[in-house]
Structure 1
Amino acid sequence: MAEDAADVVHLLKGQKATLIEILRADADFVVQHAHSRYLVSDQGYEKIQSCRVPSEKVQELLDHVIWRGPEAAQGMLDLLKEKEIQETFPKLDFVKDLRVKTPLSVEESELQGPTPAKKALRKGCGRVTEKQLMIVAKGLGSNWRQIGIQALGIKNVKLEQIEEEKRTYVERVFAMLIYWSNRKKEKATAANLHSLLSQEDLGVPPESIECLLETD
């Protein structure tokens, strides 16, 4: 996709207040379009539709999309740029100009060297840090073993070993995440972990994995 995995979520989040103000004029219209493009899960759709106030419905929609991660956020931005949506909400014209800074070409990069923005981009796309894993470990619920098996693909035998070796709950979850990171190596990126933990049936609190979207 055009935008960087982590930055596209920050981009959508940064425009949330403005989008709520615009889209509340016909909240059902945009919700239906988002649902038809699978940007919203069936469970999320029901929760959104339970909101009576249009602005709250739009807020719930955007929060849900942001919670689902970079792919859904990119899909929402693409939807808002479509002709039918733009015609329904003329004030959305500014969305067409929203861009996350992309890397320079190879030639430009060699001439100018690494800029702060590019360093942040590399960091966001790099392996998840132990600091991030510890923050996540403190926020996961008591169903950490289910998360390990279902989302991270860790065998129950390994989780039992971790449970025996580590005394506290946070130590166990942290050890599980470290084990996953070591197994996945270069694929153990913050964006990848966020995507895995964002599965709705896991019940992971969005705020507990928000650090995985940070590039600073």
Structure 2
Amino acid sequence: MKTQISNSFKTWNFTVQVMARQELLGVAPRVLRCLKPKLIGILSADPEFVLQHADSCSIVPRHVYQQLKALKNPSKQACDILDHMIEKGPAVAEKFLQMLKGKELQETFPELLFLKELPENYPCAAEENEVTRKRKQQNLEPEENIPNKRTCNKGSKMVKEKDLMRVAKDIGHSWREIGTGALDIPSVKLEQIQENYPHSHVDRVFAMLRCWSREKRNEATADHLHYLLSQGDWGLSPDSIDFLLETS
């Protein structure tokens, strides 16, 4: 009887450990996705170094390695490396995340030291904190008293092409980071836009913004675009995008 109880306890304990491990692994892609804009900025300094280590750890298949290695734009190379790790699932994402926390990557990119301080439930905690912050703001400040509110209101006007062109003229060389990090446009689509407009930066950015507008349809409001472009490290100057908040 004692033997049966002991075996049952061992089985239960093993099952709990496996479930905990699976839950932890499931967090890794979300961590990479949440930190994607920041990681692109850091890894763009030497994405080739990251790729070589990913290859040595057998995280990327050889054909993917060759495709990523052929990219000449550092920001795009870093972005595509991250996209691959996220899309390949929890196990690959966790392995890549641990690689970023390793000694060699930490020494080469000192900015990655923050990864070791992240809580295990980082994405959940970040989302919960954001929700809490918004609720507190709503409780402390009536909606009509919040100046320049940067949310997507149902009554907001739809963004027009002339608005997109005006914004395009104020977006610089970080347009790819804005496309992937703020507008959630696939890097493959951005590469296609680059090929379609090789000689005009403004036309490239305009095409990217129009792609976002068509993809979002009813959600492509001026307020929504203003909110997206105001966030993250790429936050544009208020002087260049505040016109989107105008009601007329």
Answer whether TM exceeds 0.5 for this pair. Answer: no
Select the structure with the greater relative contact order (CA < 8 A; seq sep ≥ 6): 1
Q: What TM-score results when the alignment is normalised by the length of structure 2? A: 0.39
Q: What TM-score results when the alignment is normalised by the length of structure 1? A: 0.45
